[in-house]
Amino acid sequence: MAQRPGRLENGIGGVIRNLDVVIAVGLGLTIGLLDVFGDVVSDDVSSGATLLVLGALAVGSMTERVRRRSDIEEVAAGTRRALQDVAMVRSLSGGEVGEALTKAREQTSRWCFKGGTGTYLRAVTLPRCVEAATRQRTPLTLKIDIINPADEQTCSAYARFRHTFARQHNVAAADAWTTARTRKESYATVLAACWFKQRLDTLDISVHLSPGVPTLRFDLSDSCLVITQDDPNRVNILVQKEQPLYDYYVTELHQSREQARRLELHGLPPLSEEPTVDEVRAVFDHLALDLPAAFTDGDIGEIIERALHAEDPYRR
């Protein structure tokens, strides 16, 4: 265990830090004693020595001021850094979420999403990112992690979770979350990924199906991470890339995808601009992602509508 510095060490440190003042005082005492107790020092020497002492004291005073100013500037710089760090992680509410996601899409070459069924991803993120990549002729990487629509138990658990908040906020019955709706929403995200993949050669897109029920949504771009919740009254979070938390979640999201089922999106059957029911069934057969036997052609048509014409949930 390290020992605290003693009084002698502190005293020596103080002398070293103020050496200029010590020399000036010592010189002044020496000249003063010689002048008092004898005629050893002439008047010219005495006067010159006095000026020298005063000059040394002045230099010491200026040095101390510079030292104090340097300390103050160092403290101020530390405060500025602390404030900047706080600004890198901030809360979002209301329309700020949409604005943050819009800014996150600017000049990004990748997007990672993890959440429930990916409604906003289908409605806004995916088409806007593909549109920008097409216009700029740049590659785009999208990694999507959603619940497995073929897992009825997981979809039922997610529907119960969403329905809990829907009751609290008096959501209309038509918008109620049921197991059937949850499955259709998730199938729609898979279909949307397949449809956009066939329309942009530079799009590297992957879909991962998780058996877990997420309570948060993560949208990660080149510049930031946006963490949102299904409850509109809860606070959402924006994390800038420079923050350690951003890097932590890059790893976390990667590990989550590694534990999920990845769909093989290569060699897909063609999808027209407005896919038909038969085309959609062929795509899901290719993916080995079974549709529920109870789903009718009308249900498939609803999946197509949700995939390509989803509404922005933040505009409601």
pLDDT tens sequence across 176-201: 899 999 999 999 999 999 999 999 99
List the chain residues with pLDDT less than 50: 1-2, 15, 36, 45, 51, 53, 55, 58, 79-80, 82-84, 174
* Angle in degrees, CA 15, 18, 23, rounded to 5: 85
SS3 224: strand
Fill in the DSSP letter of residue 201.
Answer: T
Closest CA to 250 of 212, 214, 215, 223: 223
Task: Using alpha carbons, list the distances in angstroms from residue 13 to 7, 17, 233.
Answer: 10, 6, 57
User: Could you tell me if 220 and 253 are in contact, meaning their C-beta atoms sit under 8 angstroms apart?
Assistant: yes
Task: Characterise 107 by phi-psi region: left (phi > 0), alpha (psi -120 to 50), beta (else).
Answer: left
Joined tokens for residue 34: 């010689």
What CA–CA distance (Å, rounded) separates 280 from 98? Answer: 31
The string of pLDDT tens digits covering residues 258-291 is 999 999 999 999 999 999 999 999 999 999 999 9
CB under 8 A, 24+ apart: contacts of 16-20: 18/60, 18/64, 20/56, 20/59, 20/60, 20/63
Task: Characterise 118 by phi-psi region: left (phi > 0), alpha (psi -120 to 50), beta (else).
Answer: left
* Per-residue model confidence (pLDDT) at position 71: 57
The string of pLDDT tens digits covering residues 167-179 is 555 555 546 899 9
* Per-residue model confidence (pLDDT) at position 2: 47
What CA–CA distance (Å, rounded) separates 252 from 257? Answer: 9
* Per-residue model confidence (pLDDT) at position 30: 59
* Per-residue model confidence (pLDDT) at position 72: 53
Task: Using alpha carbons, list the distances in angstroms from residue 290 to 73, 234, 274.
Answer: 65, 36, 21
Helices and strands per DSSP (H, E), number in the chain: 11, 8
What CA–CA distance (Å, rounded) separates 30 from 315? Answer: 84
CB atoms inside a 10 Å sphere around CB 12: 12
Burial class (CB in 10 A: 0-12, 13-18, 19+), 205: buried
To the question of pTM greater than 0.75 for the whole model, the response is no
Joined tokens for residue 8: 């002698």
User: Could you tell me if 183 and 192 are in contact, meaning their C-beta atoms sit under 8 angstroms apart?
Assistant: no
Directed axis angle between helix 96-105 and helix 126-136, to 10°? 30
Task: Characterise 191 by phi-psi region: left (phi > 0), alpha (psi -120 to 50), beta (else).
Answer: alpha
User: Could you tell me if 224 and 108 are in contact, meaning their C-beta atoms sit under 8 angstroms apart?
Assistant: no
